[in-house]
Amino acid sequence: MHSAVTSAIGTLKGPLHGGANEAVFKILQEIDASAADPVEHIKAMLAQKKKVPGFGHRVYHTEDPRATHLRQMSRDLGQSSNDPKWFEYSQKIEEFVKSEKKLNANVDFYSASTYHVLGIEVDLFTPIFAVSRVSGWTAHVIEQLDDNRLIRPRADYIGPAYPQKYVGIEKG
């Protein structure tokens, strides 16, 4: 179990997977600091052949369903905190990249603005992402130990429709 979780954490090292949301937020900070137009900033990156983090996914060739929910969270948090600029920058970037490169936002893209507005430090973006996955990783290990088969899940969610009513832990 320990080796599997340690290995899984190790796969998050670097800018392409675990660090992608950090890279997204650094771009948002650059845009904010320079008062640049978000689309012009991304055009300049593309002209320099730089990768725009937070777009595309090996499995989700249409929209990443996690990005759908994080987009709404980013929008709602921006409005409720009176700090909508991070969502607005993100939305402009997403629209441009989708139209120009035909790439959809993935989980990393809107998690950057969401985490920031929640007050989470950039250096904790990847650890937060990892913590959210530990229960799934351990479940896979347990299933493999029980069945001795590799697990490659491909499933559609068939549970209740959203939004669900949230009940705080203090009332649970």
pLDDT at 44: 94
Residue the block writes with tokens 């229960």: 135
The full set of domains in the chain, from first to last, is 2-147 (1.10.230.10)
Which tens digits make up the pLDDT trace of 107-163? 889 999 999 999 999 999 989 888 988 999 999 889 888 877 666 667 777 887 777
pLDDT at 103: 92
Which tens digits make up the pLDDT trace of 16-48? 667 889 999 999 999 999 988 999 999 999 999
10 Å Cβ neighbour count for 27? 21
Catalytic residue chosen out of the listed positions 37, 57, 69, 140? 57
Locate 151 and state its tokens: 């697990």
pLDDT at 151: 62
CA-CA distance, 83 to 78, in Å (whole number)?
5
10 Å Cβ neighbour count for 156? 5
Catalytic residue chosen out of the listed positions 37, 41, 61, 108? 108
Which tens digits make up the pLDDT trace of 63-97? 888 899 999 999 999 999 999 999 999 999 999 99
| 57 annotated active-site | yes
Residue 172 has pLDDT above 60, yes or no: no
| 17 annotated active-site | no
Using CA of residue 34, residue 38, residue 40, residue 45, what is the dihedral sign? positive
| Under 8 Å between Cβ of 118 and 77 | yes
pLDDT at 171: 60
pLDDT at 18: 72
pLDDT at 158: 81
Strand partners, 105: 55
